[in-house]
Structure 1
Amino acid sequence: MTNVAKARESAVAAETRVEKTVLKVLDRLHALNARLVALHGEIKAAQPVSSGSVCLELYPCGPGCAGCPHPRWVKYTWTVETPQKPSVLLSINLDAKERDPVLTLARSTPHYEKTAELIREAKSILLERKKILASIRSLRNSARL
């Protein structure tokens, strides 16, 4: 076998390894996204619909985005009702204020422990997901895709 043939076989083997690695990364990203969607519902179900509830909201942005769904922590608060105006439910974006969602939960509520545990799990998933997406973004930029 000539050096060119060996080099070709070596290149095919290397490409196969890279393909397997990328597929494993995509499978992990899919698993993380699926768990985030599940946690979205679990966090909402773990606490009553009331003022002070903290939720993970997931937003799609459109076709061609590699980072969808985009997560955002929000805290819901009811305004005070007056004779002139009824109370209104406000959504406060905790990410924009750079506030930790666990620290914004009321610790005196009976659902605090369960909700805090779910939020901590979601935060760890979001961190891992962010690292994977940064690597994918870097790969796309280096390959000019």
Structure 2
Amino acid sequence: MTDTPPPTRRARKEEAGPAVDLPPVPPLPAGVRAAGSEIVAPEVDDDNRLPTAQLEMAAFGDHLIPYAPPVPPKPPSVAPWALGVAVIALAAALFTGWLLPVGVIGSTLAIVSLRRAHDSRRVAVWALALALLSVAFSVGWLVWGFSQLAVG
């Protein structure tokens, strides 16, 4: 099977015949821009260029709706985690003082949550209060425990 190659632009121009005379186009007013005036036509007739290459001109202009990026999702809240750690630290501080670092972690998370704009302020304040209370109980247990060791 031998397929003949499609005709080039130059061959199609030659087959088209003589050009048609059209009346002159009146000039545009001073403030009006012609559609596609910013695109420069190629100087050389390129046989390898696809006939649909000028469709890129339709992607620019005043008819397009400006792009608005989607709203990014809010990052996850730290306040519930801070409250959960503070409650666990307070429950542990009622029985032992060795879990003092859990109360410190809870208070740190509560402070981080207070500094974030989208976190619940009420939950973060409760978390900070409970975490500081657990730290106070833990320190009390540790002071009492160490004082009992020195008695002998």
Using structure 1 for the length normalisation, give the TM-score. Answer: 0.32
More helix by share: 1
More strand by share: 1
Greater Cα radius of gyration, structure 1 or 2: 2
Using structure 2 for the length normalisation, give the TM-score. Answer: 0.30
